[in-house]
Chains A and B, each alone.
Chain A
């Protein structure tokens, strides 16, 4: 009986994992396709064209570059601001704590379409034109809360005795922070930054409200393509992104494992 139960769980788990991964497999398969028309729906002939010319469609690599730049900038700024808030919440008692928590929680509980349209309403009112700056401002705003949550969990689980020990051993506050606190919180900060980058890089709805014709991000390019005709290059870039992120995360784990072994 327990044998069946255990395997039922395994089967259910593997089924869900399959569902999660099947679209990526499909994206990869279609990246080797040579479709007849403008849409890449039906498998016709095998071809390496798209892989050999990933920038072969006008605008695709420009939009990818823009998304990478916005994603990097937004995640750096959001991580910086969010980490400071996380330290304040995790380390200090102060008046207005509940309000702060509410302010952090609200953007996560607000649908993207509401945030995007509201920001557009604000920008229209104050006369700021939409475009790259507006997108960047919006991305920093919605990434911030996620960074706070990621880092706060780590700050709160920190053992205060480690810092007290450093202080007892004569370490100054600044060097305690840099050499003890920061390395301990680093995984949380890294996770927050990674989360912020992926949220920013993948955002379509909020970006769409605040974009102008000369600020086409990659998701906006993909959306446009889904209406006009989908170049196979989209699948190539999607597949590369998947492989790079798997390699990156596995590599980071390998480094962490090796470091743990040494310690």
Chain B
């Protein structure tokens, strides 16, 4: 089961067109199969996007209603007012993605190199945390990272390593990464939360592509006198690229739009763009501005994803 989840969790392999089309069937069959699902997506995904675009170009207020005026200037205003949050979101998500790649790759490699029961058990351990609400788990990091009476501080104190905690705080303070030397509330806590929360999305596709790796290729590289490092550089890494691509996408996209981590682990200086959209939509009720910000975020992410996928050379993603 875990294997199946991992196998399928992600768009690593693209089956593309069927290898061998079966005997000819009536032409309407695929359309009949597609219709209900695609209709759902058109009504509840495409239509909302169109609504958002139209909302962003409207002017008015909640009481008197809105009129479509084609006010493109709202995009400029939105960018001017919120570019720091936008930039911050992309930077945090980028760092979190690199961190999860660095943390996830060894584990994915390790699991892929195990056999039978051990492999399945490890996969279960990667997937299982998913089933405890991510809010609860993020709140657990709150209590681990909080300075006064936090678990990390207590544990280190108990191990007589309390100075490590203070030392790390001082380093953060020195680098102007945290105003008071606290980890909780600093950008690092937010980046750490993002890294942790989306780590399984990185590990599963990496595992899938590493698991498909033919062991004989590695032996062949060894026979040809490649050092382990060369084998990794020229055989393992290139062959795991599809996993790296889908893993980084599945980590970066949700991380860039997330605001739970910055709300729970950060402070007012770590506000991310999702938080702005949320409060403009639900509290300030400035729908055009919120819609414009949503659209800017979507376009930015799609642009980055397209450029990245082009560069990485993976043609079909789904």
Contacts and interface: CB of A to CB of B under 8 A. Distances in A.
Interface class of chain B by DSSP: helix
A119 B149 contact: no
A103 B29 CA distance: 19
Interface in B17-36: 17-22, 25, 27, 29-31, 33-34, 36
B44 A138 contact: yes
A123 B304 CA distance: 29
Interface in B181-204: 196, 199-200, 203
Interface size class of A (residues with CB under 8 A): 35 or more
Given A122-B48, A218-B133, A141 B106 contact: no
Interface size class of B (residues with CB under 8 A): 35 or more
Nearest to A154: B8
Interface in B136-165: 136-144, 146, 149, 151
Interface in A1-22: 2, 5, 9-10, 12-13, 15-17, 19-22
A74 to B, nearest CB: 12
A205 B65 CA distance: 26
A219 B135 contact: yes
A129 to B, nearest CB: 15
A115 interface: yes
A230 B142 CA distance: 12
Contacts of A113: 257-259, 273-274, 277-278, 294, 297
A132 interface: no
B78 interface: no
A249 interface: yes
A87 interface: yes
Contact of A5 (B51, B203, B228): B228
B56 to A, nearest CB: 9
A144 B196 contact: no
A27 B302 CA distance: 36
Contacts of A153: 7-8, 13, 15
Nearest to A173: B25
A16 B199 contact: yes
Contacts of B49: 118
Query: Which of B48, B297, B316: most chain A Cβ within 10 A?
Result: B48
Interface string A146-157: 101111111111
A111 B301 contact: yes
B86 to A, nearest CB: 12
B18 A24 contact: no
14 contacts: A15-B103, A22-B144, A23-B196, A88-B30, A117-B291, A120-B281, A141-B44, A149-B318, A154-B8, A190-B4, A209-B282, A226-B135, A239-B132, A249-B124
Given A23-B196, A160-B19, A234-B136, 13 more contacts: A9-B109, A13-B110, A16-B103, A20-B196, A21-B129, A26-B144, A30-B143, A88-B34, A103-B42, A187-B4, A191-B4, A194-B5, A253-B124
Interface of B: 1-2, 4-5, 7-11, 13, 15, 17-22, 25, 27, 29-31, 33-34, 36-38, 40-42, 44-49, 51-52, 55, 103-104, 106-107, 109-111, 120-122, 124-144, 146, 149, 151, 196, 199-200, 203, 228, 249-250, 253-254, 256-260, 264, 273-274, 277-278, 281-282, 287, 290-291, 294-295, 297-298, 301-302, 305, 316-318
